[in-house]
Structure 1
């Protein structure tokens, strides 16, 4: 069984454009316990999660190398948009590209990092994609808090590395460039 763990990253770039990334890490069920254990061991002190944006220097190196050592594929939907456009619109376009791709890759279970009340918008898109036959009816989709599943932290790392790379930070990109498939998600 193939799982996809999904998290987002967004940032305003120096040219006043915005980048919104929805990153899915594809993980086989038989490796989940090992991955969760490894990610949990990467937590710093009493931190409830590993969160790329809050990590610094040597910790980022340790985390990037650990995630890269797992050699898992990722699919990343990217939306570049102006500051006048809302990030929810960019997310919607990313979901419309990402979920059918995951279904085509035979992903059977999808786990999103929950955004609580905003999850309803994702569910509406999921329903529309199911009704139109763009995703398999049997693909299960759930929303979890980041602290509830350490596998979600891998998606956070990939999303953070990709947004950094799109903003000119080349430091971590060579560890992952051969394992990421990009999907363009237009927000226009």
Structure 2
């Protein structure tokens, strides 16, 4: 793996599972320019970003096919039981599982899709707390608007495929089996 940046997103699944899950995914992409170009080609007309929930089943399959063609892709998925009132806690728990694994793969930065400024700030404060507790040492975290960076669309698509596979809606198990390095499930 030659990449030093991972691209991350989250998804919350409340339907089709025994318990609601908060999922976080980090994708390690070796060829970022090729990934950006590929993802832009499948962006629906008049859309600012590619979002799984907005796609038809046909477009979902097409999206995963494009992602498979990007080249070396490594995926780390973390999940935590969630509830309507505890999503931020579940996010912190996922980050606590995800960031040390990324650091073990020598990833220096996790880029997440920006939410609100206070939420982004809470992520950074949590990272600082993780450093104080010696859970991570050097990894950094950045936040970027989803419409500005097509590489952020990839973890959205991966989590969509993961969630649809887990709930039996669609089957992307072969893609997941070939690309997921670590799956850290706490629920």
The question of a shared fold, defined as TM-score above 0.5 by the shorter chain, is answered with yes
Matched, 1:128 2:129: yes
Q: Whole-Å Cα distance in 2 between the matches of residues 184 and 124 of structure 1?
A: 24
Q: Who is 2:77 aligned against?
A: 76
TM-aligned CA deviation for residue 98 of structure 1: 0.5
**What is the number of equivalent residue pairs in this alignment?**
182
Verify the 8 A CA contact 2:96 2:135 in the aligned structure 1: no
1:49-87 superposed Cα distances (whole Å, 9 cap, x missing partner): 111111002211110111122340100001124x46511
Q: Whole-Å Cα distance in 1 between the matches of residues 162 and 120 of structure 2?
A: 23
Verify the 8 A CA contact 1:90 1:185 in the aligned structure 2: no
Verify the 8 A CA contact 2:17 2:167 in the aligned structure 1: no
1:111-133 superposed Cα distances (whole Å, 9 cap, x missing partner): 00111131122112100112233
Q: Who is 2:175 aligned against?
A: 175
Verify the 8 A CA contact 1:93 1:185 in the aligned structure 2: no
TM-score by length of 1: 0.89
TM-score by length of 2: 0.89
Gaps of 5+ in 1: none
Matched, 1:97 2:101: no
Q: Who is 2:7 aligned against?
A: 5
RMSD: 1.8
TM-aligned CA deviation for residue 41 of structure 1: 1.1
Q: Whole-Å Cα distance in 2 between the matches of residues 7 and 49 of structure 1?
A: 13
Q: Whole-Å Cα distance in 1 between the matches of residues 10 and 59 of structure 2?
A: 20
Q: CA 1:185–1:92 in 2, change beyond 3 Å: closer, same or farther?
A: farther
Matched, 1:22 2:12: no
Gaps of 5+ in 2: none
